[in-house]
């Protein structure tokens, strides 16, 4: 059994130091790795990233993350990424990483993702250049996620996890206003997950959403935005090719 701890949307600022570390220090008792599903900072500054870095630095479990829209706000995502990586966090964007858990190879592929909407109610690459680029950017994110998952399969990973900030399905957005669904995720992410295959998909971003969902291909999806799970992290168990939620 592989124990996956996950949380997103912790939105840490200069006054947040130490809020999550006591809970994170318990991770070895309940989890084999920690996933951070984006929006780790409030405004995407390197100073805020250093708060996050100190919160997770030296943890005895691997930490894998993607950035969120808040982490891009100050337009310094490369600096935020560098600060986190210096603290040992594996920050992903369009690639994967492998974590060893009791001799098993667990692969995590990640991308921030982007919006666009869901089947039947989505944007398309038509019209103004800005609209075309909106959807093309989402597609590039989804393509990177698919490529990362496929590469992990070639590496013989016993379990694979898709980590994003934006949602791949509308299920986990239930509770959010319908009008903003197109800005909370995209079906292209779910298509990538179903095409490449995964045992679990984890995302954040939708603060008023719902924890549990599923892709049309049967991959379990979990919204781990902290306002949704209402704890420092949730833990999910992977059993072979099945992913099941556990508190």
CA dihedral (73, 79, 83, 89) positive or negative? positive
pLDDT score at 240 = 54
- For 48, list phi and psi in degrees, rounded to 5: -70, -35
* Gap between the Cα atoms of 15 and 146, Å rounded: 37
Confidence of residue 239 (pLDDT cuts 50, 70, 90): confident
Mean of per-residue pLDDT scores for the chain = 95
Taking the model in full, what pTM does it have? 0.96
Per-residue model confidence as pLDDT tens digits over 40-72: 999 999 999 999 999 999 999 999 999 999 999
Single out the residue of 10, 96, 106 nearest to residue 53, CA to CA. 10
Contact residues for 21 (Cβ-Cβ < 8 A; gap 6+): 55
Per-residue model confidence as pLDDT tens digits over 153-185: 999 999 999 999 999 999 999 999 999 999 999
All structural domains of the chain, each given as residue ranges with its CATH number in brackets, are 2-246 (3.60.21.10)
* Gap between the Cα atoms of 157 and 98, Å rounded: 8
Q: Are 205 and 38 in contact (CB under 8 A)?
A: yes
* Gap between the Cα atoms of 79 and 143, Å rounded: 24
* Gap between the Cα atoms of 77 and 111, Å rounded: 13
* Gap between the Cα atoms of 35 and 67, Å rounded: 11
Q: What percent of the chain has pLDDT over 90?
A: 95
Region for residue 218 given its phi and psi (left: phi exceeds 0; alpha: psi -120 to 50; beta: otherwise):
left
Q: Which residues pair with 220 in a beta bridge?
A: 214
pLDDT score at 246 = 42
pLDDT score at 46 = 98
Q: How many residues does the chain have?
A: 247
Query: What six digits make up the tokens of 167?
Result: 């949602």
pLDDT score at 244 = 42
């Amino acid at each position: 059994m592989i124990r996956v701890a996950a949380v997103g949307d912790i939105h840490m600022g200069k006054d947040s130091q130490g809020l999550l570390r006591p809970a994170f220090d318990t991770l070895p008792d309940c989890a084999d790795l920690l996933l951070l599903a984006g929006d780790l900072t409030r405004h995407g500054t390197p100073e805020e990233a250093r708060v996050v870095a100190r919160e997770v630095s030296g943890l005895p479990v691997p930490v894998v993350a993607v950035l969120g829209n808040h982490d891009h706000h100050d337009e310094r995502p490369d600096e935020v990424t560098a600060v986190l990586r210096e603290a040992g966090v594996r920050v992903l964007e369009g690639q994967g990483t492998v974590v060893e858990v009791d001799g098993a190879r667990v692969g995590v592929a990640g991308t921030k993702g982007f919006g666009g909407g869901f089947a039947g109610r989505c944007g398309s690459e038509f019209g103004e250049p800005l609209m075309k680029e909106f959807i093309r950017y989402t597609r590039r994110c989804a393509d990177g996620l698919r490529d990362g998952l496929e590469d992990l399969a070639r590496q013989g990973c016993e379990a694979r996890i898709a980590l994003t900030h934006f949602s791949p399905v509308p299920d986990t957005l239930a509770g959010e206003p319908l009008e903003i669904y197109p800005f909370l995720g995209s079906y292209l992410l779910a298509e990538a997950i179903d095409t490449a295959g995964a045992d679990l998909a984890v995302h954040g971003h939708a603060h008023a959403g719902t924890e549990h969902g599923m892709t049309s291909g049967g991959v379990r999806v979990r919204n781990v935005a902290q306002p949704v799970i209402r704890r420092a992290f949730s833990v999910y168990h992977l059993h072979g090719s099945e992913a099941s939620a556990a508190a």
